[in-house]
Amino acid sequence: WPEGVSFITCENTLTSFQKFMKYHRSHFSMPVIGITGSNGKTIVKEWLYQMLQNNRKVIRSPKSYNSQVGVALSVWLLDPSYDLAIFEAGISHMGEMKRLQSIIKPDIGIITNVKEAHQENFRDYEEKTREKLILFEDCKTIIYCRDHERIHNMATEQFGRERCFTWSQKEKGDVCIKNLKKSKGSVEFEFSYEDKSGIFNVPFSDEASLENIMHVISCLLW
C-alpha cells in the first residue's frame, strides 16, 4: 500500500459516504436553505447567493451538485466560519429524497416547480411532487408559487398552511406580483407583502427566469 494511506472497507461506498456526511452536518446549526424542483434549482441557488453574500458568509452547492453523491460533497464543505448554507437537491427515482433530506436537513425550503424532468421513473406528477416534498420534513418554512395548485395542495396537506410562504400572480399568495410590463428583454413588475411594496425591473422576460427571480424575492422578503 502507499505509505501513509489508510483504507476503510464497507459494503456500500455511497451509503457509507452519506452516513459520514449526515454525521458532519449534525455539527452545524447555521440556517440551511434546501432547494428542489424539476427546473431552476441551480439558478435560484446562485441568485440567492449573489443577493445574500454581502450580508452573510454563505456556503452553497458547487455548480449543479444535487445528486446522491453531489449533495454529500456539497455538505462536506460546511465549516464553522459560515453563517448560512444553500444546498440544492435533485432526484430521479423514488426513495432518493429521504437520503438527501437526512444529509441536508434544511430549515427553509424552496420548491421551484414540478415538470417533465425524470418523469419516466414516477407513476405520475403527484408521486413525484410528494417525493420532492420529503426534503422539507423538518423545515420551518416552505417557499413556492401559490399558482402551482398541485404543489400548494400537497404542501398544505402535509405541512399545514402556517409553514407555507407563497407568491402569486393571481393575488392568492403572501407575496403578490402584478402589473408585469415586458419590453425588449426586460420586465418591470410590482410586488406587495404585508406593509411592504415595491417595483422591480429585471433584465430578462422569459417565464422561467421570472419564476426563478420571484422565488428569490419571496425568500428574501421572508
* Amino acid identity, position 200: F
Percent of the chain's residues with pLDDT above 90: 91
- Of 215, 222, 199, which is closest to residue 45 (Cα–Cα)? 215
Beta bridge partners of 87: 34
CA-based end-to-end distance of the chain: 54
**CA 162 – CA 208 distance, rounded (Å):** 27
pLDDT tens column, 28-75: 999 999 999 999 999 999 999 999 999 999 999 999 999 999 999 999
- Of 154, 148, 156, which is closest to residue 215 (Cα–Cα)? 148
* pLDDT score at 40: 96
For the residues 157-174, what does the mean pLDDT come to?
A: 95
